[in-house]
């Protein structure tokens, strides 16, 4: 046997040492932009995310609802593959139909409604914009919109903004459905509008074309509307039915694929990645995984993977280590794979983004994963807690929880993810479970939680003296911690008041 010299360690065993924080190193200047597909030195990755988060390829996490919410906040979901091909493709299609910056409102609001009414309605429907029609019906004459923070309008200035928006629309400028974006641009520009309502032949409101950056009137709207892209979405595939599944997903408009496997260091995975690359002349982006060492990483890179996903056995619902004795501490896995990635980059000039998957418990673990060299991270438990995840919200023992089950649990029956080949007859069932069916504490809206997490990440990065992820990769100083120093890190030697227990 081969013995690794390093102990297999988790994120919890490390801390970050402060670097120099300059006046420029402040949270407002931190960019969390990150590449997710391979690129050549000096070039840009074809897909970048504004925040380094993707949601797990799991039934209890990534459906179209979560995918829309996460993409609108700068991340990306991989729609779960443990479902029929047509339903998965339909979820992808629904995300792609959702236009970033376009909001269709069917709210029954008239000009007589008060601002408070409209705000309450916005909250109830979750719409970032509410359209107002003369008679309150969706078919009624359009007179204005109320928009909110999502479009960079703070709550306090909402009243002013309503007036501002109402003024241009009192001119009743409409775009007709079917016009091109550049025609819409011209109308917006000529009429000095902030946004243009598009109506169909019956004057029914279809959607708005927004000047994204409407505060900056000096900018050319053509530039601003180039930005009006569809939301991005990924999808998980397996190595059994990829020849049928991938074409359906590509047809639905998927932006990126990922082979979903608990153990990606396999010939099946190599063949699936090679097949996708061959079939689409390298144009369809696909990540591979999961692996935990250099050998696995290099194998998938040579197969053509656009990114490599790292982690075995660290997921919160995962019992693979208990069931099979297979796995490795997430921090050690990342550290070794990043070393291999950096060597490969030095040698070839090709940068392979690394996704850290599982093992994130505290928000600072996210910064550790990035500091250790990961480019983005996949999370299941984190997202499962939010309103937007697909599972039921329940009250258990007086507390609200959401359901969260592993893909290796009997409930998900995702045998393809744990498939070791052979024995075709057993494919309709799993002989043993590698995941559990559980609850996670309900945490509310994705956006609210994400804002807190991102604030923490940015603040930690500033402590490290870094305002970008690449800078964090090179400049972070990381130390191992002893078990007694972990105790020192929490509140200790004080008598906590009940309220501070949370």
Q: Which residues are catalytic?
A: 318, 417
Which of 35, 101, 315, 327 binds ligand MZP (CB under 6 A)? It is: 315
Whole-angstrom Cα distance, residue 221 to residue 214?
9
- Residue 378 lies near ligand MZP (rule: CB under 6 A): yes
Whole-angstrom Cα distance, residue 138 to residue 104?
10
Nearer to ligand MZP, 224 or 233 (CB): 233
- Residue 435 lies near ligand MZP (rule: CB under 6 A): yes
CB atoms within 10 A of CB 199: 18
Q: Which stretch binds ligand MZP (CB under 6 A): 45-53, 313-321, 345-353, 419-427?
A: 313-321
Phi, psi of 310 (to 5 degrees): -120, 135
**Three-state DSSP class for residue 10:** coil
Q: For residue 38, which of 355, 466, 398 has the smallest C-alpha distance?
A: 355
Q: CB of 421 within 8 A of CB of 268?
A: yes
Which of 65, 261, 408, 458 binds ligand MZP (CB under 6 A)? It is: 408
* Residue 318 labeled ligand binder: yes
**Three-state DSSP class for residue 339:** helix
Whole-angstrom Cα distance, residue 55 to residue 60?
11
Q: Which stretch binds ligand MZP (CB under 6 A): 101-109, 127-135, 240-248, 357-365?
A: 357-365
Whole-angstrom Cα distance, residue 299 to residue 356?
17
Can you read off the two tokens belonging to residue 97?
A: 């139909």
Give the residues across from 478 on adjacent strands: 16
Q: CB of 383 within 8 A of CB of 60?
A: no
Give the β-pairing of 399-405 and 195-199.
unpaired
* Residue 260 labeled ligand binder: yes
* Residue 312 labeled ligand binder: yes
CB of 435 to ligand MZP, least distance (A): 2
Residues 52-111 that bind ligand MZP (CB under 6 A): 56, 58
Please identify the residue of the shown chain whose CB is closest to the bound ligand MZP. Answer: 435
Q: What are the helix and strand counts (H, E) for the chain?
A: 17, 22
CB of 342 to ligand MZP, least distance (A): 24
Q: Which stretch binds ligand MZP (CB under 6 A): 165-173, 192-200, 230-238, 309-317?
A: 309-317
- Residue 381 lies near ligand MZP (rule: CB under 6 A): yes
Nearer to ligand MZP, 184 or 440 (CB): 440
Nearer to ligand MZP, 109 or 318 (CB): 318
Alpha-carbon Rg of the chain, whole angstroms? 24
- Residue 406 lies near ligand MZP (rule: CB under 6 A): yes
CB of 320 to ligand MZP, least distance (A): 6
Q: Which stretch binds ligand MZP (CB under 6 A): 89-97, 248-256, 400-408, 490-498?
A: 400-408
- Residue 409 lies near ligand MZP (rule: CB under 6 A): yes
- Residue 407 lies near ligand MZP (rule: CB under 6 A): yes
DSSP element (H, E) containing 461: helix 446-463
CB atoms within 10 A of CB 457: 23
DSSP state of 498: G
Nearer to ligand MZP, 12 or 320 (CB): 320
- Residue 187 lies near ligand MZP (rule: CB under 6 A): no
Nearer to ligand MZP, 34 or 414 (CB): 414
Q: What is the DSSP string of 110-152?
A: -TTS-HHHHHHHHHHHT-SEEEEESSSSTTSPEEEEEE-GGGT
The residue behind tokens 């990540």 is: 287
CB of 74 to ligand MZP, least distance (A): 19
Q: Most distant CA pair in the chain: distance in Å? A: 78
CB of 403 to ligand MZP, least distance (A): 13
State the residues that interact with ligand MZP by CB under 6 A: 56, 58, 315-318, 320, 357-358, 360, 378-382, 406-409, 434-435
Residues placed in the known binding site:
260-262, 311-313, 315, 318
């Amino acid at each position: 046997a081969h013995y690794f010299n390093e102990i297999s360690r988790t994120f919890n065993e490390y801390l970050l040492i402060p670097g120099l924080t300059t006046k420029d190193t402040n949270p407002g200047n931190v960019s969390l932009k990150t590449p997710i597909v391979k690129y050549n030195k000096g070039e840009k990755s074809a897909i970048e995310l504004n925040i380094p988060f993707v949601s797990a390829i799991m039934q209890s996490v990534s459906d179209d609802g979560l995918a829309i919410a996460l993409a609108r906040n700068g991340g990306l979901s991989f729609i779960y593959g443990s479902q029929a091909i047509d339903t998965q493709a339909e979820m992808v299609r629904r995300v792609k139909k959702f236009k970033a910056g376009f909001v269709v409102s069917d709210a029954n609001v008239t000009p007589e409604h008060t601002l408070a009414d409209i705000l309450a309605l916005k909250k109830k429907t979750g719409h970032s914009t509410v359209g107002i029609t003369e008679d309150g019906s969706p078919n009624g004459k359009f007179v204005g919109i109320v928009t909110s923070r999502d479009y960079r309008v703070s709550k306090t200035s909402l009243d002013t903004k309503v007036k501002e928006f109402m003024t241009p629309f009192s001119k009743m400028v409409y775009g007709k459905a079917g016009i091109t974006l550049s025609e819409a641009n011209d109308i917006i520009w000529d009429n000095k509008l902030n946004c243009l309502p598009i109506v169909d032949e019956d004057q029914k409101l279809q959607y708005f074309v927004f000047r994204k950056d409407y505060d900056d009137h000096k900018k050319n709207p053509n530039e601003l509307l180039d930005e009006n892209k569809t939301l991005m979405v990924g999808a998980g595939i397996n190595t059994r039915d990829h020849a049928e599944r991938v074409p359906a997903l590509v047809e639905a408009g998927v932006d990126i694929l990922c082979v979903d496997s608990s153990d990606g260091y396999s010939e099946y995975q190599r063949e699936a990645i090679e097949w996708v690359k061959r079939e689409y002349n390298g144009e369809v982006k696909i990540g591979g995984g999961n692996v935990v060492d250099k050998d696995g990483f290099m194998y998938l890179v040579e197969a053509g993977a656009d990114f490599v996903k790292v982690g075995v056995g660290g997921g919160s619902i995962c019992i693979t280590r208990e069931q099979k004795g297979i796995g490795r501490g997430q921090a050690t896995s990342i550290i070794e794979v990043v070393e291999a990635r950096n060597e490969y980059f030095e040698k070839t000039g090709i940068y392979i983004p690394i996704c850290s998957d599982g093992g994130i418990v505290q928000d600072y673990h996210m910064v550790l994963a990035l500091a250790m060299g990961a480019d983005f991270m996949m999370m299941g438990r984190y997202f499962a807690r939010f309103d937007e995840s697909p599972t039921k919200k329940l009250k258990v023992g007086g507390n609200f929880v959401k359901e969260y089950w592993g893909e290796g649990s009997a409930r998900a029956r995702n045998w393809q993810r744990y498939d070791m080949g052979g024995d075709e007859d057993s494919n309709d069932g799993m002989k043993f479970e590698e995941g559990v069916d559980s609850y996670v504490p309900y945490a509310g809206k994705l956006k609210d939680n994400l804002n807190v997490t991102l604030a923490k990440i940015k603040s930690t990065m500033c402590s490290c003296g870094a305002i970008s992820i690449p800078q964090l990769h090179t400049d972070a100083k990381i130390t191992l911690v002893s078990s007694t120093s972990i105790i020192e890190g929490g509140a200790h030697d004080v008598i906590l008041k009940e309220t501070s227990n949370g």
